[in-house]
Amino acid sequence: MANTVKDAILRGRKTVETVVEGGLDTVETVVEAGLNTVDAVVVKGRRTVESAVSLGRRTVESALLGRSTMQAAVLHGREDIRIEEVPIPKAAVGELIVRVGAALTCGTDLKVFRRGYHARMIVPPALFGHELAGTVVEAGDGVAAFAAGNRVVALNSAPCGQCFFCERGQENLCDDLLFNNGAYAEFIRIPARIVAKNTLHVPDHVPLEHAALTEPLACAVHGFEDSGARSGDTIAVIGGGPLGLMILHVAALAGCHAIAIVKHDGQAEAARQLGAAHVVQTTSIRKAVRETRALTEKNRGVDIAIEAVGLPDAWEEALELVRKGGTVNFFGGCALGTHVNLDTNRIHYSDITLRSTFHHTPAICRRALDMIAEGRFQAQAFITGHAHLYELNRVFEKLMKRSSEIKTAIVP
Ligand SMILES: [Zn+2]
Ligand SMILES: [Zn+2]
């Protein structure tokens, strides 16, 4: 066990809480231990580390006035993330600086890690990560809705509100969707447009790591709602990744008879916990189709099939799962340039509705956070691990090996 804050920090324990776990529980003892880092807190009259933490000053260093750099993950290319010392951003007009409480790993980040870029979202070298919640440490001029100390979830994008698509209520298709990255860091700048349109107050009883699920949950809710399900419908979800499981859970909560089609044991177990009525576990598409249809009356097929893998083969599979008059939602985005072969006869003469839901809208993001706050949504089931920012490379390497982890909360 570390005897001083300095020892604790040298051993990689960068947060005040982990220092406190080491037995130093007041600012005075931290200062006595040989570091003047928390002087600023004392000067402000906050005598305990806990009260500093509640103000959003979560690291020992951030308690130092005038600190100008922070640790952040910088993506340099394929499978190359480096934790670097970079300037702490300052809030310009309309912006917020948020102390990251938790940043969640996501399938999109994993794709970016593997490919080294994302055509729409990120071009290296760049700050990285987009699912986060935290505490406001600085509000720029003109920000009325938020102040230092507020707990917030800031979404990864915001629409312009003015283009053809925004005016039609299809903000997910905005011609000028603004993306924000940099959640794997101690602090993140939230651009003015995201502050104005897609930053939400987190109720006190909701842990920040749960609130950080707002973004993926909004995508899942959007996909589910777009599929037009009614209570009692049978709905098959292909894919046991975080989003597949989330859609499955949303469907089960809405009273649907949900069938999970997954490959791995951990995914099957998670699907059951999240309300799947049946789990079809196989790596064979033929088998998945046969077994899923066998779960419906007279092998009729499911009312709705949602593909949440993002592979052309799985898109084709989804079409084979639905009954006459059913709906298919191609929810998983495939790699650029890929194509599918679909049976036109089946689509036409079986009167099948094809949809392909993308992203989220501000209204859906609000509904997603409400769902998390209400407590029926099992947020804790989606966060299967915790890691420090320094461990980010290892976390992604592990995710690439298809471990049973759903999401890891990265705590800076
Ligand atoms: Zn995400
Ligand atoms: Zn727009």
Mean pLDDT of the region 355-366: 97
**What pLDDT was estimated at residue 241?**
93
**Any idea which ligand is nearest the CA of 164?**
2
Q: What is the pLDDT of residues 110-169, one digit of tens each?
A: 888 888 777 667 778 899 999 999 999 899 999 999 999 899 999 999 999 999 999 999
Instruction: Provide DSSP, 261-299.
Output: EESSHHHHHHHHHTT-SEEEE-S-HHHHHHHHHHTSGGG
The percent of residues above 70 in pLDDT, for the chain, comes to: 83
Interval between CA 367 and ligand 2 midpoint (Å): 20
**Any idea which ligand is nearest the CA of 173?**
2
Please, what sign has the CA dihedral across residues 173, 176, 182, 187? negative
Cα–Cα distance, 391 to 337 (Å, whole number): 34
Do 33 and 4 touch, CB atoms closer than 8 A? yes
**Any idea which ligand is nearest the CA of 243?**
1
Q: What is the pLDDT of residues 22-68, one digit of tens each?
A: 444 444 444 444 333 443 343 334 444 544 555 554 444 444 434 68
Mean pLDDT of the chain: 86
Interval between CA 245 and ligand 2 midpoint (Å): 30
**Any idea which ligand is nearest the CA of 159?**
2
Do 78 and 115 touch, CB atoms closer than 8 A? yes
Cα–Cα distance, 293 to 165 (Å, whole number): 38
**What pLDDT was estimated at residue 52?**
53
**What pLDDT was estimated at residue 320?**
97
Report the candidate in 221, 151, 200 with the shortest Cα–Cα distance to residue 368.
Answer: 221
Do 69 and 86 touch, CB atoms closer than 8 A? yes
Work out the pLDDT band at 325, boundaries 50, 70, 90: very high
| Ligand 2 ion: nearby residues, β-carbon < 5 Å | 159-160, 163, 166, 174
Work out the pLDDT band at 336, boundaries 50, 70, 90: confident
Q: What is the pLDDT of residues 256-306, one digit of tens each?
A: 999 999 999 999 999 999 999 999 999 999 999 999 999 999 999 999 999
Interval between CA 219 and ligand 1 midpoint (Å): 9
**Any idea which ligand is nearest the CA of 183?**
1
Beta-sheet pairing, 187-190 with 257-262: unpaired
Interval between CA 1 and ligand 1 midpoint (Å): 36
Q: What is the pLDDT of residues 197-220, one digit of tens each?
A: 999 999 999 999 999 999 999 999
Work out the pLDDT band at 358, boundaries 50, 70, 90: very high
Report for 28-32, 76-80, 315-319: range of highest mean pLDDT: 315-319
**Any idea which ligand is nearest the CA of 166?**
2
Q: For residue 370, give the amino acid letter.
A: D
- What's the N-to-C CA distance of the chain in angstroms? 20
Instruction: Give the phi and the psi of residue 72 in degrees, each rounded to 5.
Output: -150, 150
Cα–Cα distance, 284 to 94 (Å, whole number): 51
Interval between CA 38 and ligand 2 midpoint (Å): 45
**What pLDDT was estimated at residue 119?**
64
**What pLDDT was estimated at residue 67?**
63
**Any idea which ligand is nearest the CA of 169?**
2
CB atoms within 10 A of CB 401: 7
Which three-class secondary structure state does DSSP give residue 4?
Answer: coil
Instruction: Enter the tokens of residue 338.
Output: 């890929």
**Any idea which ligand is nearest the CA of 215?**
1
Cα–Cα distance, 127 to 185 (Å, whole number): 8
**What pLDDT was estimated at residue 34?**
38
Interval between CA 196 and ligand 2 midpoint (Å): 14
**What pLDDT was estimated at residue 108?**
85
**What pLDDT was estimated at residue 45?**
41
For 173, counting Cβ atoms within 10 Å of its Cβ (0-12 exposed, 13-18 middle, 19+ buried), the class is middle
Instruction: Enter the tokens of residue 278.
Output: 């049946």
